[in-house]
Amino acid sequence: MLRQTSLLVSLVRLIDHLPWPSAPVQRPRGRPKTYSDRLILKALVVMIIRRLYTAYALLTFLEQEDTVARQLRPLLYEHGRFPTRRTWERRLTALPQHLPGLIGCFGRHLVALLTPWTSHGRAAAVDSTALKTSGGVWHKKNKAQGEIPHTAIDTEAGWSKSGWHGWWYGWKLHLAVSVGSVWIPLAAELTPANVADNTVAPRLLEPLPAEVRYVLGDTHYNDPEVRQLCEQSNRALVATRRGAYPHHDDGVEVRRIFHKLRSQAIEPFNGLFKNIFEWRTQLPVKGLQRSQLLALGAIVIYQLVLLYQHEQHLTPGKGMKPLLRAA
C-alpha cells in the first residue's frame, strides 16, 4: 500500500531545493550555529500552516501519532540531532531579520522559473497593507501619558490611517509584487503602522530582480530618494502625483494606464493573501518580532506554493486557499 505524502510535507521538502542567499564573508561574532536557518524555516512553515504559534505547540504536534507528524519529524532533524524547545524558541526569535533576504532570493528564483513578464511589461508594484494587532488598541491619549490600561494591549504596534481602512492600530506589511501573468511576491517588510511607506521603499527596491524596469506606486512613493534609487538601477518610478485632480500634465495618460495595472496586481494580491491566511480582522499574535515571523513567514509559504504548483504542472496562483486548507 502506497503512503500518501501530504501537501505540508511536500512544502517542507521543497525548502531543501530552494536557492539560499550567500553567507557573509566574515562570520558573525558568537557561537557558530548548530542548526541551519533552512531547518528553522521548515519548522516555521509547519507552525503557520497548522496554526501553532509557539515552539511548545510545535513540539506537542510533532509528538502526536499522526501520519503527517510522523512524516515531518525526520525532516526536522539535522546531522542526526533534533533541537530542544529552548533552541527552537531562540532561533525562531532570531529568524525574522533573515526573512526579507530569503523572500527576495526566492522571488528572483520564481521569476526565472515562472517568467511572469513573457507577454507583459517588466513591472513590479509596491504598496503597504494594514494588519491589525491582536488585543486592544493603545489610544493616543493613553500612549502620550504612558498609561497602559490593560495587559492585552500591544505596545509595539502603531497607528495609521488610509482612505480604505480608516484609522487602524497594528502593522504595515510592505510588499513588492510582480505585475504580470502571475503575482509573485518579490520583497516584503513588516513595520509598525506609523512607519511611512517611502522610508521602507529602499529596502523593497534592493532585492528586486534585475529584469524589473518599472516600479509602480501610489502617492506615498513619489519621493525624490525613491526616484533616485530607481534611476540608479535603470528603472522608471511611476507614482501618482500630488495635487488636485484632474491632472493635465503631459504624462497623465501614461500614469493612468500604469496605475490601473498596479491596482489590478497589488490590491487583489493583498486581499488574496489576507484571505488565504484569514487575517482580515487581525493577526493572532502580539509584538513586532512575532508578527514579523508570522507575516513574513506566510509570504514564504505563498512563494513555496507557487513553486509546488509549477512543479506539479498546476496553474501558479490558482486555488491557493483550498490547496493550503488541504495541508
The predicted pLDDT at position 113 comes to 96
What is the pLDDT at residue 61? 96
Which tens digit of pLDDT belongs to each residue from 214-269? 999 888 899 999 999 999 999 999 887 665 555 555 556 666 666 777 777 788 88
Show which of 97, 115, 131 is a domain's final residue. 97
- Residue by residue, DSSP assigns 170-201 as EEEEEEEEEESSS--EEEEEEEETTS-HHHHH
Look at 31-35, 243-247, 268-272, 299-303 and tell me which has the smallest mean pLDDT.
243-247
Residue 60 reports pLDDT greater than 80: yes
What is the rounded distance in angstroms from the CA atom of residue 35 to the CA atom of residue 107?
Answer: 24
Give residue 11's identity as a one-letter amino acid code: L
**Which range, 75-84, 247-256, 274-283, is most confident?**
75-84
Residue 67 shares a structural domain with residue 177: no
Both 49 and 173 in one domain: the answer is no
If asked whether residues 78 and 111 sit together in one domain, one would say no
Among 97, 126, 143, the domain boundary falls at 97
| Mean pLDDT score of the chain | 88
Measured on CA atoms in the order 8, 13, 19, 22, is the torsion positive or negative?
positive
**Same domain assignment for residues 172 and 206:** yes
Task: Say yes or no: 203 and 64 in one domain.
Answer: no
Q: Are residues 41 and 146 in the same domain?
A: no
What's the pLDDT at 2?
Answer: 40
Adjacent-strand bridge partners of 125 = 177, 216
Q: How far is CA 168 from the centre of its chain?
A: 20
Give the H/E segment covering residue 214: strand 214-217
Sequence-separated (6 or more) residues with CB below 8 Å from residue 270:
127, 129, 173, 175
Q: Which has more pLDDT, 22 or 193? A: 193
- Residue 323 maps to a domain: no
Structural domain that includes position 48: 7-97
DSSP-assigned beta bridge partners for residue 187: 176
In a domain, 76, yes or no: yes
Residues 68 and 214 reside in one and the same domain: no
Q: Same structural domain for residues 47 and 164?
A: no
Inside any domain, residue 324 = no
> What's the number of domains the chain is made of?
2
User: Between these two residues, 327 and 108, which has the higher pLDDT value?
Assistant: 108
Of 17-26, 75-84, 287-296, the poorest mean pLDDT is in: 17-26
Q: Based on the fold, state whether residues 120 and 203 are members of the same structural domain.
A: yes
Same-domain check for residues 113 and 217: yes
- 55 and 123 belong to one structural domain: no
The residue from 35, 65, 97 where one domain ends is 97
Question: Is residue 181 predicted with pLDDT exceeding 90?
Answer: no
Question: 178: which strand partners?
Answer: 124
The CB-side HSE value for 144 (13 A sphere, CA atoms) comes to 3
State residue 28's pLDDT score. 65
List, for residues 81-112, the tens digit of each pLDDT value. Answer: 999 999 999 999 999 999 999 999 999 999 99
